[in-house]
Amino acid sequence: MTTNLSVNVNKIATLRNARGENVPDLLKVSADCELFGADGITVHPRPDERHIRREDVFNLRPVVTTEFNIEGYPSPDFIDLVLKVRPEQVTLVPDSPSQLTSDSGWDVEGNFDFLTDVIERFKDAGIRTSVFVGTEPENIIAAARAGADRVELYTKPYADQFPHDPESAVAPFVAASEVAHKAGLGVNAGHDLNLDNLKFFHSRLPHLNEVSIGHALISDALYLGLEETVRRYKEALL
């Protein structure tokens, strides 16, 4: 199956915000990522707007011609933003407002009623909904019961173990993707995937719809250039 590459452009916004102007231009970089072969653009707006701003999300909507994926904690403000923008996909993460980055998946059963209500609102609006989870089968199955269309597997544990034992690192994710597939869910993945570990990960997972990559890809682009970097990440998914 084809695995899509969604480029997370948060780090572009972080760099832009450091000077308070519009360099680099978030809209142009996003359009260029698509031009160079990316299958989607991901943003994660946070309440403090330390990188992606609410205004960016609205401005990106007419620019993104592939798949627009908005991820975040489903607070009332976030839900309102997503319903107004109508992206192709929303990814629900359990982050608190103060978190530097995502560091775990949902306890889906413990938040089941809350997530079910949020998922229903997004699905009624025609927005594909993905739930950020670890590899625990119970959370994946609960996400399916809650009405999710996909899960996104939190891949930092894989990335951390990969240099030492690739097969052991990927094994829980292979099993998780099988559980998700049997439950009728699509499978996304993201966090610390890079040019060193992505090809192996992709080669082992039997049901991988999409990877979302930001920090590593933007960092690689400083050395390789954006076009070559997107090309290499796409090549790793062949």
Q: Which of the residues are catalytic?
A: 44, 71, 191
Measure the CA–CA gap between 179 and 177, rounded to whole angstroms. Answer: 5
Helices 137-145 + 112-124 axis angle, to 10: 50
The secondary element (H helix, E strand) that includes residue 75 is none
Measure the CA–CA gap between 112 and 115, rounded to whole angstroms. Answer: 5
Half-sphere exposure of 183 (CA within 13 A, CB side): 24
Which of 128, 122, 140, 236 has its CA nearest to residue 183?
140
Q: Angle at Cα 93 formed by Cα 42 and Cα 155, nearest 5°?
A: 75
